[in-house]
Amino acid sequence: MEISHRIEKDLCLVTLIGNLIWKGEDVLGDHLKTIAEEPNLRGIIFDFTEVEYVDSSSLGLLISQSIKFGKKQIEFALCAPNQQTQQTFRLARLETVMKLCNNEQEALDYFKVQYLVSERKIRLLFHHLKDYHLGVKLWVARFLGGIIIADHIIDRKEVLYLQAIFDNAIEEPTIRQTLTDVLQENEVPEMEPLEVAPDVAEHIIQCALDICSSDYELHRNETRLIEAAAQALGLDTIKIYELVDRALMKIKFNSFEKLLIRLDRKGQYWLAVVILKLIYADETIAPKETIYLSDIYELLDDPAEIFNKIQEDTNYIELSELPDVNFQPELTADIMHYLVTIALVDGDYDPREEAFLQQVSQTLNYGESRLTDLIQGLSENYMGY
C-alpha cells in the first residue's frame, strides 16, 4: 500500500494505491498522525481510485480514525469510483460517519457546499434583517458572536458560520467590527430588549441554535444566552423550549447514528437492553424518553419480547447476564455520554437511574469519578429541558 497526501487550503487530499489490508500495522493510521499535525484542517479526502480491495479490519480502523479526527472537527470523505469498493463501504454503513463520493471533485464540492449551507442560513438571516436599522443588526452580531464563544471553544463548523457572517457583512464594516470585538473580548454579551417581528425573532434564535449545535452538543452557557436573547426578543417560554428541544433531538439523532455504526451485533444487543433497563429504572416513561425507545428498533431485529419482559420486570435481565463486551475507550465514553443524556433528558434524575448508571459504569470500567464529572457536566446542559 502506497499512501501520499497534499494540502489544498483547509483540506488534505490522500491518495492510496494498492490493497488496504491489515497486516499487524496501521499504515494508514501512521500516515494520518503526520496529517494531524497540519493546522486549520477542515476535512480529509481519501482517493480510493487505485484501491481494489479493503478488508474488514481496515474498515474498522478507518471508522475509528474518522471518529478520532471528528472530535477535532475534521471530517472524512471517501472517493471510490470502483463499484465494488463503493459496495464494501455501503455494506459497512460508512456513509453514517463520513461522506462517500464518486470522485475527488465531488468531494471538493461537498466541502464547498458545507460552507454554502452555513452561508445560506446567514444570508437568509440578513435578508430578514434588511429593513431594520443598523442597531438591530449590531445586536444580532453581538448575539451570534456570543454564541460562538459561549462554550470557550470555536470549532471548525463555527468558523464556517463566522466566515459567512463576515462575507454577508462585507459592505457593513460596523457589523464586522462588532463581531470582532465580541470574539476578542471573549465574554458573553448582555442582551438588552429588542423589538422585531415574531417570525424574525424566531429566525434569529433558530440560526443561533444551528450554530451552537453544529458540534453535536448544546452547552449550558449557550442555552443560557439563547434564553436571555429569546426573552429580550419577546419570545414566550413555550416557544423557547420548543426550539431548544428540537435542537437537542437533532443532536440525539446524530449521536446515536455515530454509535450504531461502531457496534457489532453483540454490542447492539447489549446497548438495547441497557437503554431499556435505564428508561424503565424509575418505573415511568417520560414523554422525552419515548424518542429513545425508537432506537431499540435500530438495535434489535425483533424487540417486542425484550420490551415486554423488561417492562414487566426491570430485573428480567441483569447486567451480569448480558454478553461480555469489550468496547474501545472512545466508544465506552460515547456510550456513557449517550446513557447519561437519556437519564437527564426528562429533567428528573432519579436515584434508581443513578444506581443503574453506576452499575453500567463498573461493567465498562468507566470509572466512578469520570461518571460523576459526566453527570455534573451534562446536567447543566439538559436539566430543565
Here the CATH number for the domain that contains residue 353 is 1.10.3680
- The pLDDT score that the predictor gives to residue 147 is 95
Domain closes at, from 36, 71, 102: 102
Number of H helices, E strands in the chain: 16, 5
What pLDDT is stored for residue 75 in this prediction? 86
Same domain, residue pair 135 and 97: no
Q: Is residue 368 part of a domain?
A: yes
**Ramachandran sector of residue 42 (left: φ over 0; alpha: ψ -120 to 50; beta: rest):** alpha
Q: What is the pLDDT of residue 295?
A: 83
In a domain, 108, yes or no: no
Please, what is the end-to-end C-alpha distance for the chain in angstroms?
A: 50
**What pLDDT, on a 0 to 100 scale, did the predictor assign at position 314?**
74
Q: Which domain holds residue 361?
A: 263-382
Q: What is the pLDDT of residue 381?
A: 62
Set of cell numbers at residue 184 = 476578542
End residue of a domain, out of 72, 102, 132:
102
> 45 and 124 in one domain?
no
Residues 248 and 127 in one domain: yes
Residue 107: inside a domain, yes or no?
no
Q: Domains in the chain: how many in total?
A: 3
The pLDDT averaged over each successive group of 10 residues in the chain (385 residues) is 89 92 75 88 92 86 82 83 80 78 90 85 94 96 94 79 88 92 92 96 95 82 93 93 86 82 89 92 83 82 80 82 88 92 85 94 93 84 55
Q: How far is it, in rounded angstroms, from Cα 97 to Cα 74?
A: 12
Report the relative pairing of strands 11-17 and 2-8 from DSSP bridges.
Answer: antiparallel
> What is residue 264's predicted lDDT score, i.e. its pLDDT?
87
Within this chain, do residues 273 and 206 fall inside the same structural domain, yes or no?
no
Contact of 220 with 381, CB cutoff 8 Å: yes
Half-sphere exposure of 224 (CA within 13 A, CB side): 12
Last residue of a domain, one of 80, 102, 124: 102
